[in-house]
Chain A
Amino acid sequence: MPDYKSELLQGTLDLLILRTLAVNDAMHGWAISQRIAQLSRDALTVNQGSLYPALHRLEAQGMVEAEWGVSDHNRQAKFYHLTRAGRRQLVDETAYWQRFTAAVGLVLKASAPT
């Protein structure tokens, strides 16, 4: 039985990563996963195994760029930051997401059992 709490819709993870990076300068993967969990009050736990392929996919698409730097704990880490294309993508995706949830909301409201 899949765990609905943590199961993210396809593409949602990308949106969350972009959003997280939009408000922070540069973050490494672990920090991103922590922030998403924190912001969603643990309602969304990102499957850590799928975070990295998503990051690499976004990098390959040019939405994010990565640089090696030194973390707070003095270790080498790969820091991601948003590119201009990533920012545009975030705006588009956010708008789409809002339309989508609004539409789903409408459908649910209309067909809600009275």
Chain B
Amino acid sequence: MNLLSRLRAVFHRSAIERELNQELEFHLAMEAKTLERTGLSPAAARAAARRSFGGVEQAKEACRDAWGTRFLDNLRQDLGYGLRGLRRNPGFSAVVVLTLALGIGANTAIFSVVHGVLLRDLPYAAPDRLLMLNQAAPKAGQATLGFSVPDFMDFRARNRAFESLAEYHSMFFILLGRAEPERVQTGVVSDNFFELLGVKPLLGRTFLPGEDQQGAAPVLMLSYDFWQHSFGGDPKVVGQVFEMNNKPHTVVGVLPPLPAFPNADQLFMPASACPFRGAERVLTNRNGRIIQNVFGRLKDGVNPTQALDDARRVGAELCGEFPQNYPQDDGYTVEAQGVSRAFTGHARTPLFVLLATSGFVLLIACANVANLTLARLVRRDRELAVRVALGAGRGRIFRQLLTESTLLALLGGAAGLLFASSGLHVLIDYAGRFLPRTNEIAINGPVLAFTLGVTLLTGLFFGSRPPLPTGDDLVNTLKDGARGASSGRHRLRSLLVVGQVAIAVPLLVGAGLAARSLYNLSRVDPGLDTSRVLATNIALNWSRLNDFQKRFDFWSRAIAEVQKISSVQSVAVSGFEPLNGVANNLANFRLEHQALATNTPSPHAITLASTEDYFKTVGQALLRGRFFLATDTRTSPPVAIINQSLARHYWPAADPIGRRLTFDNGTTWTTIVGVVANARQQLNAEPQDEIQVPLTNTGGLIAATVLLRTNAAPAALTREVRAAIHRADPQQPITRIETLEQVRNNALTSPRLIATLLALFAGLALLITAAGIGGVLAFTVSQRTQEIGIRMALGASRGNVLWMIVRQGLGLVAAGLVLGTTAAFFLSELMTTLLYGVPPTDPLTFAAVVAVLLAVAACACLVPARRATSIDPITALHTT
């Protein structure tokens, strides 16, 4: 009620004023009437009543104060005044609001991504106390060796820094017992995994102590997404039994929504349920490093550095006890990384570069708006001076100007928010291909708070101006009109332009470098002919195809069936899809008759498996020897084809054909029969040493890629390939079909997104900066009309005048370029990991940026300069 009447006092001001007048009027009338009775004339009585009342206006003011609404009243007045001002200058308002909207919108969108992906804690208990351990052999290029079961047990028993350790690896299994056999990615973990992370089940329970011991009944937990998509969120799924790996598994619980980390696991099972992890040879083999990640929760009072030292101590102990199991010559060590770091590592650089970029764009936009406002203020000097002269407090005027700028900023912020929310889904779709957790990106509370904060800061930034004219200045301003206080402001405006150019340079350099990287990457010759190749990824139901022969037969049938498609030229099966960067399984080997110096890394190479026509199908050239043949079988002497990189590495001068190497310390020897040209496994990485063996020399591959080369459009064959695979085995699901060209393009997604966004921001910055330069010069011209008129009257040519104006503009630009180039030189270093084939200080890019900025600035200067040359000296001298 009280608040209500206060609000009424603010918003129904005229009604309040009327009532106040009426009330006081009534009082005066009553007083006058009383006085009349003493014999005064009505007029005299009225005058006496007024006298005895005192200052009516003061009383009114005091009444208004009584409501404590003066501040709000002023604000309301300022807002009204501001709005009127904006309406009176729709062009100015529109330009300011639009400029700010672009700046704030860009920042909101990027920040919402940064917030969703990087800044929010992982949904684990105290995630900053969680570490991931790695065994690594850096000298052999192995960032992670994984852990064997004995490794894990020893680290668990011997460490002193961790409250607990948990193991994790991820595999594909076939889930039976539903309408169709389903291939599911399964996290295999120790029983304390979820407890260690601090994850509570949504339904049912997590794993119990002892459930990861050999012989425990197999149990499962469902991920939230899998539960939703495959079971429609049915709570009765808990307790149901499904067959996997020829054993019944009971669902004991459903997990809450979690990020897909470390992998996009649909199911989780305790370590004992995994047939590989449970195999006798894995349980006891110190070299069988099946565990991908070890998670640890720090003990209270232990910091991550101490924990890493402790883990390294354990590693060193193990090296001493089992020297043959730890590759000390390859620089064996233990690494640790915070979980959040591990989760977002690759996303940090691009996101922070983008955030910084959008921040710079906003700064440039602010500078422009400040510039516009200053120009407008010069025209308003007289108006403001009059108000000061009439007694308006300086504080009041300052507040009013600030109210105006905040109003503009808020309008810009609101429009920016609209921009951001309408464009965000595009960004999320795009970013989802290379960033984690993008489905959690939204414009939520913290993002709104960020936007509001940025908006208010923006308002403050361009709303705080040099002080108003005082004393003599004030008089001058009143006399001269616009020119009184403009010189100091002009210097400020010039500085703002210098600043804009200086900020635009790093933005343009960043965009240029990203564009050059993208171009380089798109032009990379991967060593394969990616046109007209279709890749079909298949994972076998290996519980049904449970030995080599069954699996080998399936792949042979698949090749034969696909071969029947009329436009198909050749077909092959490969253990890895080329070019998608997953082929990273390094194997150590030893060469025959080549003794190895001690303390040097053992020879290692990526090992791959394929069928006879593989190289022909993907277009990888044979340099020496032969391809695999149908006669290379399981029983014939083992053969291998190496790539040129490996050949050069070990036989720089000799012919490697006929040489032998061993993967198992001399038990079996493999003969090199061919050398092929280098091909990349990853578009942005140089080819590494590779050894290719025939499919017959493997366990029969439980997951592989069927590749075909066609003389038609490969994408059009998708349906026929599906039918062919179905003919080979009606129950075999297909994971993914794509052309090799698509695989190649996928590698460009992230660089393309970054280059596009950076180019967009840089273009925006360039545009705003050009407008800023043009605006300042146009203002100069209008201020110097008279002077220019005199110069021209005295004989200055149009060329002279043109050059005079352009020179002033380019002077500012040159100063900005010097500052900006220096800044860019240091800032571009931060982009190094995002670049390909171009150094961060690439001279060509820098030169191009300088040239572009100069050209654009020159154009921006020319418009006002031409206006200067068209000044008519007579008119200019007459109008003062």
Which A residues have a C-beta under 8 Å from some C-beta of B? Answer: 28-30, 33, 47-50, 52-54, 56-57, 59-62, 68, 71, 73, 75-78
- What are 30 sample pairs from A and B whose C-beta atoms fall under 8 A apart? A28-B27, A47-B54, A48-B27, A48-B52, A48-B53, A48-B54, A49-B53, A49-B55, A49-B59, A50-B54, A50-B59, A52-B27, A52-B63, A53-B59, A53-B62, A53-B63, A53-B65, A53-B66, A56-B63, A56-B66, A56-B67, A57-B66, A62-B2, A71-B30, A73-B33, A75-B29, A77-B23, A78-B19, A78-B22, A78-B23
B257 contacts chain A at the CB level, 8 A cutoff: no
Grouping DSSP codes into helix (H, G, I), strand (E, B) and loop, the B interface class, with mixed when no group exceeds half, is helix
From A57, A60, A75, B6 is in contact (CB under 8 Å) with A60
A52 to B6, CA, bound (A): 17
Residues of B within 8 A of A75 (CB): 26, 29
- For A52, A57, A75, the residue with the greatest tally of chain B CB atoms inside 10 Å of its CB is A52
Residues of B within 8 A of A29 (CB): 23, 26-27
Residues of B within 8 A of A68 (CB): 19
Grouping DSSP codes into helix (H, G, I), strand (E, B) and loop, the A interface class, with mixed when no group exceeds half, is helix
Residues of A within 8 A of B54 (CB): 47-50
How close is A36's CB to chain B, nearest CB, in angstroms? 14
**Nearest opposing residue in chain B for A61, CB measure:** B2
The 3 closest A-B pairs by CB, nearest first: A49-B54, A53-B62, A56-B66
Given contacts A30-B31, A62-B1, contact A52 B59 (CB under 8 A): yes
B44 contacts chain A at the CB level, 8 A cutoff: no
B870 contacts chain A at the CB level, 8 A cutoff: no
Residues of B within 8 A of A50 (CB): 54, 59, 62
How close is B172's CB to chain A, nearest CB, in angstroms? 71
From B29, B31, B63, A48 is in contact (CB under 8 Å) with B31
In the complex, chain B residues 1-38 whose Cβ is within 8 Å of any chain A Cβ:
1-2, 5-6, 19, 22-24, 26-27, 29-31, 33
B58 contacts chain A at the CB level, 8 A cutoff: yes
A59 to B288, CA, bound (A): 84
Given contacts A57-B66, A62-B2, contact A49 B27 (CB under 8 A): no
A102 to B11, CA, bound (A): 46
Indicate if the CB atoms of B5 and A59 lie closer than 8 Å: yes
Residues of A within 8 A of B24 (CB): 52
B80 contacts chain A at the CB level, 8 A cutoff: no
B68 contacts chain A at the CB level, 8 A cutoff: yes
How close is B31's CB to chain A, nearest CB, in angstroms? 7
How close is A73's CB to chain B, nearest CB, in angstroms? 8
Residues of B within 8 A of A78 (CB): 19, 22-23, 26
How close is B512's CB to chain A, nearest CB, in angstroms? 63
From A53, A60, A62, A76, B26 is in contact (CB under 8 Å) with A76
Indicate if the CB atoms of B2 and A49 lie closer than 8 Å: no
Residues of B within 8 A of A73 (CB): 30, 33
How close is B376's CB to chain A, nearest CB, in angstroms? 39
A56 to B30, CA, bound (A): 19
A82 to B66, CA, bound (A): 18
How close is B45's CB to chain A, nearest CB, in angstroms? 14
**Nearest opposing residue in chain A for B63, CB measure:** A56
Residues of A within 8 A of B30 (CB): 30, 71, 73
Residues of A within 8 A of B27 (CB): 28-30, 33, 48, 52
Residues of B within 8 A of A59 (CB): 5, 66
How close is B19's CB to chain A, nearest CB, in angstroms? 7
**Nearest opposing residue in chain B for A28, CB measure:** B26
From A30, A33, A60, B67 is in contact (CB under 8 Å) with A60
**Nearest opposing residue in chain A for B27, CB measure:** A30
A30 to B33, CA, bound (A): 12
Residues of B within 8 A of A53 (CB): 59, 62-63, 65-66
**Nearest opposing residue in chain A for B61, CB measure:** A53
Residues of B within 8 A of A48 (CB): 27, 31, 52-54
**Nearest opposing residue in chain B for A29, CB measure:** B27
A89 to B2, CA, bound (A): 16
How close is B83's CB to chain A, nearest CB, in angstroms? 28
A50 to B56, CA, bound (A): 10
Residues of A within 8 A of B26 (CB): 28-30, 71, 75-78
Interface contacts beyond A59-B66, A61-B2: sample of 19 additional A-B pairs, CB < 8 Å, sorted by A? A28-B26, A28-B27, A30-B27, A33-B27, A48-B27, A49-B54, A49-B58, A49-B59, A50-B59, A52-B27, A52-B59, A52-B62, A53-B62, A53-B63, A54-B66, A57-B66, A60-B6, A71-B26, A73-B33
